A and B are shown apart, each in its own frame.
Chain A
């Protein structure tokens, strides 16, 4: 199975800061990498698919990049409503479609 290593596990930043989260796959997954946001008590919400494509309706301050084994998720200017846990997920050819451990983002 493909393992996903996400870092950091937690992050504290100020409103307006640029925030970056990384995700590393244990093998080449092309660009089959998604990013989800999960607010407390809520279901996950897809933000980015195929490494860099923004889901319709998601604010443009969210972005993603990478291919192969190394991926990056960025919030260009942190807003109070972005407080959540963020997960990467690989979606290579065969299941299981494993998630990273998650990054808990809080406001400083």
Chain B
């Protein structure tokens, strides 16, 4: 059974940093692109970033470029999102998701972790 479990969310002050983790199981993690998607309270979904199977390609939405870094450790079956220079509008539930490139979709999602940026 495919499982994705996010952790690392919490309350952080503006300008601060946070590192999210996503533990994957039930599939060959190193064979899939992985994504982060976020959802601000009461709002819609926003694709944030993704990373290729071997980590050699990474893409970001413009609003997080230069502040967020997506990475992965295939030996640990884990995906990460390092978030620096956090702003109030980064407040959201952050989901990790598995991508199926051949079908161009995100077929499994974690339960999400809440990040709150507030003083």
Tell me the A residues contacting B by CB distance below 8 Å: 1, 32, 34, 36, 38, 42-46, 49-50, 53, 55, 87, 89, 91, 94-102
Whether the pair B105, A102 counts as a contact (CB closer than 8 A) is no
Chain B residues with CB below 8 A from A99, complex form: 44-47
Chain B interface mostly helix, strand, loop or mixed? strand
By Cβ-Cβ distance, the 10 closest A-B pairs, closest first, are: A91-B104, A49-B105, A95-B59, A43-B109, A99-B45, A96-B61, A34-B105, A102-B44, A97-B47, A49-B103
Chain A interface mostly helix, strand, loop or mixed? loop
Within 8 A of A (CB), among B41-96: 44-47, 50, 59-62, 95
* CB-CB under 8 A for A53 and B95, given A43-B111, A44-B109, A99-B47: no
Within 8 A of A (CB), among B4-42: 35, 37
Tell me the B residues contacting A by CB distance below 8 Å: 35, 37, 44-47, 50, 59-62, 95, 100, 103-112
Instruction: With CB as the reference atom, state the residue of chain B lying closest to A32.
Output: B104
Chain A residues with CB below 8 A from B109, complex form: 43-45
Whether the pair A102, B45 counts as a contact (CB closer than 8 A) is yes
CA distance A32 to B106 in the complex (A): 12
Closest Cβ of chain A: how far from B9's Cβ, in Å? 14
Whether the pair A50, B50 counts as a contact (CB closer than 8 A) is no
User: Which of B62, B109, B110 gathers the greatest number of chain A CB atoms within 10 Å?
Assistant: B109
